[in-house]
Structure formats: structure tokens, C-alpha cells
Chain A
Amino acid sequence: MTAGLPIQEILTGLSIGSRLFLVALGLSLIFGVLGVLNFAHGAFYMVGAYATASIVGAAGGNFWVAAVGAALTVGLLGAVVEFGLIRRIYDRNELDQLILTFALVLIISDLTRTIWGSGTQTVETPAAFAGNVPVLGVSFPAYRLFVIVVAFLAMGVFWYVLTRTYVGQLVRATSSDRDMAALLGVDVPRLYTGVFAVGSVLAGLGGALTTPIQSFTPALGDQVIINAFVVVVIGGLGSFTGAFVGAMLIGLFQSFGVLVATGVNQLLPFLAMILVLIFRPEGLFGGEEL
């Protein structure tokens, strides 16, 4: 093994983890505050990717306009879904939520196929990050480095907003006791719509940022949602520190697993999930307040 290989795999693992983190963060946020396990989160991610491809085409190839546009589009989609559908079943049992969000997966996937077809889609890497840069003695794609930075930034922003701002206080208050928050004058329905929309923006952003790295088809959402669930189970549903640590762990498992033997990259995340479920069922950072 050459000296550069472990560093290559660490950086690769972090970039995989960073892509996952953006999805898992939204999933975890929505569960933490609303108590809804949103199966359609992967489908939102996919819509983000397709919206990016379409807007890039329409915006003369400007990736940044497309990424922001896609994130906002998915945020709007999330707000509509929460306001129109999910809001109606908060009082029902969790199975109904699963069925509803799963139905959304099927509807959104088939609509995507109808609109964009099932062929493979690609998006060019934005010119500013097209090349490779030297990092720790190895050559690494600049765009992947950018995605890692975005993930760390997102982590920082969420930590700041949730712990240091008034909005963050409202979110945390509602998350820990919805009825008390409502009695104290928090507009809970509006806050729920807002949080669901923000979670969806993260899914859309994750989808947008992934397009220069991987080609995609209408199956994109199914591929990502399973890993996102593994991340939040390991990290602890509802914990954003957990989502971060979980995502980076999975990314590193996937990159280093490849060096061990074929299939180990897929095995390790699930093995870790099983161990966490047995020895710490609430997740590594579960049980923490948001």
C-alpha cells in the first residue's frame, strides 16, 4: 500500500459522508421536531438532482443558480407536502405517516420518470471547481473538497441557529414539548411547515450538490434513503451531531471497506447499525435534545 492511499480514502470517505450528511441532517431535523419519519426524503433529494439538471440547462449552464433554485424548489415542495398532506395525520399513529410518505416516494418517482425519462442524467462540474488540488500530499478533486466544506458549514450553521438564536429556541422548545410551546404562544403549525421546508431544502441541496459527482436516474432517491436511515440510526434520530458523526463514519466505512475485501464497504455500515441497535438503541448521540 502506498502512503497516499490511506489519505485518498480518508478524503474520499469524508466526501461521501458529506453528501450523506446533508440528506441525513434534513431527515433527522424533521423527525426531531415533527416526529415524522419522512420516507419521501430520498425522493426529495432526487427531485433536487433533476431540478438542478433542468435549471442548469435553462440558466445557460450556471450551476450555482441551479443548485440554489433546486434547493428552493424542493423546499417549496416540502412546504406543500407538509401543509397539504402530512399536517392532516399528526394525530394518527406512525404507521399512517409511513404509508403516506411511502406513497409519496412512489408518486414522485413515477412522476420523475414521466417528466424526465428513465435515462441516465449528468451535470457538469462547475468550472470554478473543475480541477484537482493538492491536499496532504495527494491530488484531490476540488469539487469534492468544496462539498466537504459545505457539510462542515451546514453543521456549524445549524449548531449556531439551534443553540444561539430565538428561532432555534422556539424549535427546541416545540421539539421537547409541543403542547406547552403552543400554550406559550408558539405558532406550532407554522413552525412545523417551516421546519419541514428547511429539512426539504437540505434534501434538495444534497441532491443538487451530488449531481456533478454522480450520474443519476429515477432510482437515485431509493439509493440514498437507505444510507440516510443507517446514518440517523447510528447517530441517533433527531440529533444533528449524531447525523454528522454517523454520516462521516459511514463515508469512511465505505471507502476503507473497499480495501479490506469486496462487499465489506457495504457490510460495515449495517454491522455498525446492528451494534448500535443492540448496545445503544437510542443511537450514539440519541436522547440529546436538539
Chain B
Amino acid sequence: MIDHTTDETSATGRDSTRRLDRRTVLKAGAAAGITGLAGCSGGGGGDDTITFGAIHLLSGFASVYGESAQLGYEMAREEINADGGIDGKEIEPLIYRDSEGSGPTGIEAARSLVEEENVDGLIGLDSSGVAQQVAPIAEQLQTPFMITHAATPFVTATEGENAVGNDYVFRDGVNLSQNVYGAAKIAERLDGQSWTTLGPNYAFGTQSWDYFKAFTQGLGLGYDYLEDAAAFPELGASDYTPQINKVLNGEPDGVVVSLWGSDLVTFINQAQDTAFFDEVDHVVLTLGAATDALRPLGSDIPDGLWAGTRYWFETPDTEANRTFVEAFVERNDQQPSYNAHNAYVGLYLYKQAMEAAGSAAADDVTGALEGMSTSAPIGEFSINPESHQAVLPAIWGQTAYSEELGLSRLDPVERIDAPPETIRSLLADSEYPAGV
């Protein structure tokens, strides 16, 4: 695996010696039948710095997501280090690896970060598909993994088919079931009877639709689900018009759109050309309120569409959030995306857990993270000790173009509480894990 970001890692002689020593230690440990490999790294005594390894999309059509996460990490790292580090230990520049949107590459990156770079904690992941494959590896490596972006409920669920949640995997952002629960609550107020979907053809797109159906059934809304009109275009498709034609042909009242990033931008523009927004009464964009997509769209996205997100820079209207947003805009000349926010919060969660545990050893950190409460720009939240999922509200609103910002704001914007008990009970009759 090529390290794309050697400039981010300190390749000093001391480091390489240390690395060699560590490897020898690891080998000796393995030979002696000690399974706790990661136990040797992490707070392995005597370390005066903390190292994190981040895995993101850093190339390809969605590399903007990896880059916006980097903005969040760098800001958090500088703030933490300026404030005395983690228990007096400085955070080293993060070691970044490109997942390339591929499970095997993500696994390779996680292995390399733990076994070769001896990181104290893993963080990141943008794709649900990749996360489902990497989550079990965190357990094998016995290293905590704070997922900041990938939203599949299966990585914070331990029961049921395909559930891959485990002791080492946590998530600090709104997940798919919380987000789609919000979509169902929005749909509940609308007068649409027949619904279908247009979403990317992988875990995220299919799960968004499955959960929407499960939640709206759980809420007893009695919808008709138009499966024949549902369309799942491939990621990074250049033309969604064939799919738009198919969806429109079904004449749905409402459409759940789970496209994201530049795919969403292309879709919105092509949907405008095909009068999609005139013909469909209710368009619900599960990831529509992502600044990475709203910025290039500018005034091209119609007002009044329902759009969800995992953090919106204008809510909550608190001192903590305003301070964060101002500092972020000052540094980067753009509003923080949810991905930047979640990356920022992820490092602070590690700091809080390591300080609470008084150690950076993997099992101490995971123990401290379970049930931990924290205060972040998005507001106060806790991490459910059972699922390891942050208990957060779904954030939804309606698009309203702002001349001043040059992008659509959410106005009005709502925080839809998504209590784990409610989500679990609504999904009780479905085959899908709540992951909350």
C-alpha cells in the first residue's frame, strides 16, 4: 500500500527505529501466542505522542469528502495540541489512507495503519459498503474505530443477519436509520400516498429505501410502494435521465432520493431539465443538505425540497456551534460540511475517552467511549453503550436559496429527535437492525 500522504507522517529516524522495535515486539508477542496485538501498540507505555490513522475517499469522484474530513481533523488537532494535547501528549499529524471506495483497500489500510504505523485509534470511512467490510477488521486488530461518515446501521448493530457491530466500532454521526426515520416523519405530514426511490446502487441506496419502507410501515402510514418505478443508478453515473424517466413513468406522489455528492448535483440539474420537480409532489432528499453538494448547485436547486443531513452549520443556535462555525470559516473560507464536523468531533471524542480512561490502550478507550456523554457543535449527545452509535437527532429542512451565502439554506430547519427505543420499536417487525 502506497502512503499517498508521506508529507503528513513524520519519517524521522527515531520513528523508523521505533517502528522496527515495535514490529519485533509484535512478532515476539505473536510467537508467544499473545492475541492482543493492538494491546502492544496504543498506550504501550513511554509514548509521548498519540497517533491516529484516518481512512477516507481521497481519490475519485467523491474525494471532496475525504478532503473536507481532513479540514475537520486538522482544526481539531491544532486546537487540542494548543490546549495541551491529550493528557499532555501531543497528537501527531494524522496518517491518511485512501479507501478508494473499495472494501479490500479499506481493510488493507486499516491493517497497515495498525500493524505498521502503530496508530492508537482509527477514524473515518465514507462509504457504507466499505464500512461493512472494515468493521470486523477493527475487532480483529483490536483497535478502536470511530466511524465519522459511513451511515449503514449494520456497523452499529450486533444482532441479526449481516450485523457487524463489535466492541471496537463506534460512530459519532447520524446514521442511516436515524436519518431515514426523519424522512419518514417528514413524509407523515405530507399527503403523498404512493412512494418510490432513486438512489445509488449499493448498500446506502438500497438500505435508504428499505428503511424508509420499514419506518413508514411501522408508523402505520399505509403507503403504496412502487417497486417497479424504483431506480438504482450506479455510483458516479453521468446521466440519470433514463432513471428519471422510469420513476416518472410510475407517477409517484413522493420520491425518496438518496443520491449524494456530485451524483446528487448531476441528478438535480437533470431532474430540472425533465420537469421532475413539477411532476413529483414530494421530493425527499436524504442527503440533500450537504454543503459539498449545495455549494456547486448554487441557485439551481429548487426551493422547498425536503433535505436531510447529519449536521447543519446553522443549528443548533448555540454559542458552541457559532464559535465552531466562525473558526472553521475563518480557517477554510467555507461553511463546515457534516463530514468536516463529524471528523472534528471524532478527535475530541478520542481525547475525552483517553483522558477519562487515563490511557490510550484500546480496551480502556473503548470502555470509556461506551455510554460517554459529550458536548459538540451539533449539541450534547451520548454514545449508546450497547450499539456504540451516537444518539443524535435527524436534521431536516426545506431548501431556500440564500443570495448571501451563495447556496441553499435549510429554512425552516428542524431537529427531529430519534430516540433509540422509538427506532427499535418501529423496526421491530422488519428484518432490519436499528443500529442505534
Contact = CB atoms under 8 A, between A and B. Distances in A.
Interface of A: 1-2, 5, 8-9, 12-13, 15-16, 19, 113, 117-122, 125, 132, 139, 141, 143-144, 210, 213-220, 222-224, 254-259, 262-263, 265-266
B204 to A, nearest CB: 14
Given A2-B249, A223-B61, A262-B201, A254 B296 contact: no
Interface string B227-266: 0000111101011011101100100000000000110011
Given A118-B67, A120-B64, A258-B246, A214 B266 contact: yes
Chain B contact residues, majority secondary structure: helix
A200 B198 CA distance: 36
Contacts of A132: 273, 275
Given A132-B275, A223-B238, A119 B296 contact: yes
B23 interface: no
A263 B262 contact: no
A52 to B, nearest CB: 15
Contacts, number: 111
13 contacts: A120-B261, A141-B273, A141-B274, A213-B239, A214-B266, A255-B245, A258-B231, A258-B233, A258-B243, A258-B245, A259-B246, A262-B232, A265-B233
Interface centre among A16, A210, A215 (most CB of B within 10 A): A215
A217 B61 contact: yes
Given A120-B64, A262-B232, A9 B242 contact: yes
Interface in B30-87: 59-64, 67
Given A1-B249, A122-B297, A214 B269 contact: yes
Given A8-B245, A119-B295, A215-B296, 4 more contacts: A113-B63, A132-B275, A219-B61, A265-B242
B94 to A, nearest CB: 18
Nearest to B262: A120
Given A214-B269, A219-B236, A119 B292 contact: yes
B238 A12 contact: no
B61 A214 contact: no
Nearest to B261: A120
Contact of A214 (B62, B234, B239, B242): B239
A215 B262 contact: yes
Given A5-B245, A9-B245, A132-B275, A214 B238 contact: yes
A16 B232 contact: no
A5 B249 CA distance: 7
Interface in B268-293: 269-270, 273-275, 292-293
Contact of A255 (B63, B241, B293): B241
B417 interface: no
B238 to A, nearest CB: 5
B275 A119 contact: no
Nearest to B59: A219
B300 interface: yes
Contacts of B274: 141
